[in-house]
Chains A and B, each alone.
Chain A
Amino acid sequence: MVKRYTSMAYKAADDMIFGKSVYPVKAELGLEIGAGYVTAEVNYAPRPEAGVSKEKLVSEYRRLTTDIMARAVQVGFPAIQLETEHVEQMTNNPDWGGEVAHVQKTIMEEYHEEYGIKTGLRHTPGDIREDRDLLALIGGKYDTLMESFEAVADAGADFLSIETMGGKEILDYAILRNDVPGLIYAIGCLGSIDMTMIWSDIRKIADKKGRVAAGDTDCAQANTAMFIAGGLLDKNLAHTLAIIARAISAPRTLAGYEAGAQGPGKDCGYENTIVKSITGCPIAQEGKTSTCAHSDVMGNLVMQCCDLWSNESVEYHAEFGGTSVQCWSESLNYDAAMLNVATETGNAKMLRDILVLSDKYRDPQGYVLAYDNAYKVGEAIAKDGDDLYLRAKNAAIACVDILNDADSKKLVMSKFELGALADAEAALKAMTDESETFMSDSMEKYKAEVAVFRPDANYKF
């Protein structure tokens, strides 16, 4: 049995700040995360044709790693972290991922030895736990996935991460039908059950290899909602529903920490500010410097409490300013320098609040994720922290309450967003307080409606 969080790591929301966490973590080559300074975390994807063979992939990563390290030294940055999110070939063939990690770490060691630059390497195997048509969370693919973690840890990856998919079969169905109880079941319940299992095992590998079990993100679910929601004029999903999904994702991402993760949380986990308020663990975030990967409506705000500042992902190719990874790592590092100057000069909280206020009223998503409101969602989760269902429901209710209480002259929402919010509130009010009742009713409902849902095989019901 894992120990659930039932209290907050921070006494007050105002105590939360970028670059500093309650429990910093260390990489092998001098980098410490959450120890008082922010570091850039560069993320990249190989060009499409590089996936055809191990040799081509390794060569691609060798080149892009060298490019990033060279640029960091050229411009005089004191530290840098790299994140390698696996393409499926690398996780399905653990020796491929291991070879890439080895090559990258070797290059980083050379730069560390020669220039003293502090570096960290995160590897994020892909969640390959699926058959052709179904999630297959337990079984042969799980074993391969664990072999991949072992391989990259052996080869030198400091931080182990993953973006798990538990609950996604229900999420994909529910999110397209404005089904709030479905979101709670998919993300808060099924996602947390899966997280509890897989992070217990990742932590065992990390401990055995002397690495750090870092963190997860609800990319497969809350980010799906955020991406479908899109910008102000997109008509695919109410932004109020997207932030409810995000609030529910916080207790789900928290489950990874309860099972052994220590941070830094993954960059695309926009729920990370909520998670940090509960765990005190360091987090990566992405925003205005990840527009190479996607657009969002809170580019500055999410920087508020970051310990690593990431670009999400960029395909490796040439730009006028160098290769894409050089350009984006340079931009990230300038951002990090600005944050660190604010800390050094005693202006960190002022800069944090400027970042927050530039986006807080832009969208319901930014409003709820502003650190003061994020902290309130955290408190709602910790209140019933022992109950996976209730804490997810609490998070959704807190999110709705925060939006309903907002100053309507500042946070202006469309009629559609307000309508979706009212519908969500009504759905939440109609939900039971009994976890067992909710779980059994939901299982029957979605077994009937979602053909690919396999509760016994995937969640051990």
Chain B
Amino acid sequence: MDIDPSKILVRYNVAKEKAQTPEELAAELYPSAEPARTICAAIFDGEEDDVIEGLEKAIEGGADPIALIDDVLMVGMKITTDLYDQGVIFLPNVMMSADAMLEGIEFCKEQGGSAPKPKGTIVCHVAEGDVHDIGKTIVAALLRAAGFEVVDLGRDCPVDEVIAAVKKESPMMVTGTALMTTTMYAFKEVNDRLLESGIKIPFQCGGGAVNQDFVTQYELGVYGEEAADAPKMAEAILAGKGLAQLKETFHKH
């Protein structure tokens, strides 16, 4: 027994594919000047050694190492994340590009002896009792790739540590991920303790068992359905959006 499956399913992903390859689309977006073009291409390809080599050439040519972070590395990373947002490339490409960009940033900081000012600081954690941290790892990588400073508290993180980190770092946002229903109950405690301390910053929550209904039960909670929502939410905060506007934008159900 066999069938012609064309009436059983629709291959929407194939139908939506762009005619151009991701590499061709990326090449159209690279800056024209060298060595910026080569460095951006190396970031897109996730080739860390080539990024460093390009930076060395740029610095030898008189470029300011710290200025290269914003002027070249972040530009290259944005090409990758823009193509990811457009659905042209996939998450592993972003992760590998982020690895290459972060290595480039470290190199520039070493060469320049100082560090650029990040767009803002964000505290990331996995709920207490929960050891599943791949979602948090993706969120942290995407935030770093977008130019934010990430304080990563890791997995199975006690509420006390989240509160202490927020008090110390004064972040613009906290993120929490959880896979299990009973561990995500810790999010309510984080919310309540932040409010008790008079801290009213957005608390982005997501992960396997987490849903919008649960997150809306506490005042600071904003539901993040996708990891890629995290940098979008951070950018929205930078643009002046408050809690209510964040919920309006990111609460989809």
Contacts and interface: CB of A to CB of B under 8 A. Distances in A.
B150 to A, nearest CB: 16
A144 interface: no
B129 interface: yes
B92 A415 contact: no
A178 B8 CA distance: 31
B92 A178 contact: yes
User: Which one of B92, B154, B155, B185 has the highest number of Cβ atoms from chain A below 10 Å of its Cβ?
Assistant: B92
Contact of A412 (B14, B16, B141): B14
Contact of A236 (B4, B91, B133): B91
Interface in A15-45: 45
B14 A176 contact: no
A89 interface: yes
Contact of B182 (A88, A133, A233): A88
A88 B209 CA distance: 14
Interface residues on A, range: 35 or more
A137 interface: no
Interface string A408-436: 00101111100000000000000000000
A67 interface: no
Contacts of A220: 132
Contacts of B92: 175-178, 237
User: Which one of B84, B91, B129 has the highest number of Cβ atoms from chain A below 10 Å of its Cβ?
Assistant: B91
A227 B4 CA distance: 28
Interface string B7-46: 0110111101100011000000000000000000000000
Interface stretch (A148-156, A249-257, A353-361): A353-361
A360 B4 CA distance: 11
Interface stretch (A49-57, A201-209, A340-348): A49-57
Given A48-B214, A130-B156, A87 B13 contact: no
Interface residues of B, number: 46
Given A177-B95, A233-B87, A235-B91, A360 B134 contact: no
B128 to A, nearest CB: 9
Given A172-B134, A233-B16, A416-B90, A315 B181 contact: yes
B239 interface: no
A88 B11 contact: no
B240 interface: no
Contact of B9 (A175, A354, A361): A361
A374 interface: no
A97 B235 CA distance: 44
A224 interface: yes
A125 interface: no
B21 A415 contact: yes
Nearest to A420: B90
A305 B171 CA distance: 51
A237 B90 contact: yes
Interface in A297-324: 315
A172 B91 contact: no
Contact of A361 (B5, B95, B129): B5
Interface in A215-240: 220, 224, 227-228, 232-233, 235-238
A47 interface: yes
B172 interface: no
B182 A360 contact: no
Contact of A51 (B84, B99, B185): B185
Nearest to B180: A87
A233 B11 CA distance: 9
Q: Which 7 pairs from chain A and chain B are nearest by CB?
A: A51-B182, A361-B5, A48-B185, A236-B91, A232-B13, A87-B182, A176-B95
11 contacts: A48-B185, A89-B129, A177-B92, A227-B208, A228-B91, A228-B134, A233-B16, A235-B91, A361-B8, A414-B11, A416-B17
Interface of A: 45-52, 87-89, 130, 132-133, 165, 172, 175-178, 220, 224, 227-228, 232-233, 235-238, 315, 350, 353-354, 357-358, 360-362, 410, 412-416
